[in-house]
Amino acid sequence: MIRRLTQNDHEACFNLLKPRSAENLFIIGDIEAYGYNQEFQKVWGEFNDSGELVAVLLKYQENYIPYASNVFNAEGFAEIISNDHNFKFMSGLKEITEKIEPYLNKQLKTKRQTYYAKCTKLTSNENIGEFSNVEQASPQDAEALVQLLNSVPEFNDSIITVERKRRTLTDGTSRSFFIKEDEKIVSTASTAAENSLSAMVIAVATLENYKKKGYATKCMLVLCNQLLKEGKELCLFYDNPSAGAIYKRIGFEDIGYWMMYTYI
């Protein structure tokens, strides 16, 4: 049986999501932020014959994210999504979204696959306590951080703005660490979509003239160490295997593929 979830289902919902909190970063974060009864956000759950919650489907704005711990009613989730005339996007773990995709009745425009990795402990032997040149950003550093990202070719399509960066640093849904040299920020690593259980690592960047000094790795190690001490799992997307090798050296492990679908 599939039905809308309410606040009364919160404990059962989080019991399903918590064991894979990195994989469920977006669902957990959206529920914690907006709950179950918003016009722009809805949550459905599938219950088995014993009344146990086995799958969740979250709608946020025009995007749907499904999650299931095992076998689930993919056709039933697809029917809910297809009946929403405003539906434009679906994202999630490949092993789940690929079961729903064949039943959707809208025309697929784009489909992107990226590696999805998570970290529950650091494997680096470096002494993080000696990284005295790594600083934590405050909201006042937002402009300089965005300026750095805009100077790095890999982030040419970034939609981050100074206002948004300042807001997320202020409200605690993001944090950033950086290294300064020659009186400017030259390397950084940040989080996004932080919630009580997990966080996503994003915007790992170094200016071209300051690469090959290990700066980005230092920023990541300090960032990840702080979050892991708070009991949070870390996750990230990547599509560049060479970048993936760097992440794996400090403790990230591939957990599958994250899919992003756009529909007409």
Q: What pLDDT, on a 0 to 100 scale, did the predictor assign at position 74?
A: 98
DSSP helix/strand/coil, 56: strand
Q: Contact at 8 Å (CB) between 113 and 156?
A: no
Q: What pLDDT, on a 0 to 100 scale, did the predictor assign at position 144?
A: 96
Per-residue pLDDT of the chain (264 residues; tens, 9 = 90+): 999 999 999 999 999 999 999 999 999 999 999 999 899 999 999 999 999 999 999 999 999 999 999 999 999 999 999 999 999 999 999 999 999 999 999 999 999 999 999 999 999 888 898 899 999 999 999 999 999 999 999 887 788 899 999 999 998 889 999 999 999 999 999 999 999 999 999 999 999 999 999 999 999 999 999 999 999 999 999 988 888 888 999 999 999 999 999 999
Q: What pLDDT, on a 0 to 100 scale, did the predictor assign at position 258?
A: 97
Domain 2-106, CATH number (from 1.10.1670, 3.40.1440, 3.40.50, 3.40.630): 3.40.630
CA torsion through residues 59, 105, 238, 206, sign: negative
Question: In which region does residue 75 sit, left (phi positive, over 0), alpha (psi from -120 to 50) or beta (all else)?
Answer: alpha
Question: Residue 130: how many CA atoms within 13 Å on its side-chain side?
Answer: 3
Which two tokens mark 117?
Answer: 């990795």
- Domain layout of the chain by residue ranges: 2-106, 118-258
Q: Domain 118-258 classified CATH 3.90.1150.10?
A: no
CA distance 168 to 80: 32
Chain centroid offset of residue 163 CA = 20
Q: Is 33 exposed, middle or buried (0-12, 13-18, 19+ CB in 10 A)?
A: middle
